[in-house]
Amino acid sequence: MSALSKSPWIVHYNASSCNGCDIEVLAVLTPLYDVERFGVINTGNPKHADILLVTGGVNAQCRKPLETIYNQMPHPKVVVAVGICATSGGIFRECYNILGGADVAIPVDVYVPGCAARPESIIDGVVQGLAVLEEKRKKFRKQKEAYKLTYEYLTGKTDAE
């Protein structure tokens, strides 16, 4: 389990954002806001990420890629919807091609309001996401322990992973 107690890494996906929220996400990573001081690192690889930041509403084209990125991330993981578009579809929600916010495709843990979401709000959302991630990690550890004990009980072996 020590592999899971590392600093949280994030992966960012622009669903159909106008780029306003994406610029604010980038601002969070610059030295001005410097989210790396919390140990948060931006990675391009979902397989290395703990937190998925989604910007923009979800349409038919981006739904599948968003689901794929989510499914490629290891458990436990957290999703933060950044901006009102990722939260609900926002000002584009009545458009013919918009299905809604990120939660039409994947489970969302934290919703960050704003148009565009301010860097302070995004950092706040990530910090809330860290608390959710910690809770999920605890639950994951308990499930793994329960699985191990069941395996040992049923098989008499002690090599469950």
Binding site for ligand SF4 (CB under 6 A): 17-18, 20-21, 55-56, 83-85, 90-91, 115-116
**Least gap, CB of 25 to ligand SF4 (angstroms):** 10
Name the minimum Å distance from CB 27 to ligand SF4. Answer: 12
Tell me the closest approach of the beta carbon of residue 24 to ligand SF4, in angstroms: 8
* Length of the chain (residues): 161
Do the beta carbons of residue 62 and residue 26 sit within 8 Å?
no
Smallest gap, in angstroms, from Cβ of residue 7 to ligand SF4? 27
Separation in Å, CA 156 to CA 17, 91, 147, 150, 159: 54, 59, 13, 10, 10
Closest CB to ligand SF4 among 108 and 133? Answer: 108
CB nearer ligand SF4, residue 55 or residue 59: 55
Q: Which is nearer to ligand SF4, 20 or 140 (CB)?
A: 20
66 with 42: CB under 8 angstroms? no
Contacts of 17 (CB under 8 A, 6+ apart): 55, 56, 83, 85, 86
Residue type, position 83, single letter: G
Nearer to ligand SF4, 83 or 129 (CB): 83
Supply the DSSP symbol for 157.
Answer: -
Q: What's the min distance (Å) between Cβ of 19 and ligand SF4? A: 7
Residue nearest to ligand SF4 (CB): 20
* Residue number with CB closer to ligand SF4 (111 or 133): 111
The whole-angstrom distance between residue 100's C-alpha and the CA centroid of its chain comes to 17
Q: How far apart are CA 82 and CA 52, in angstroms?
A: 10
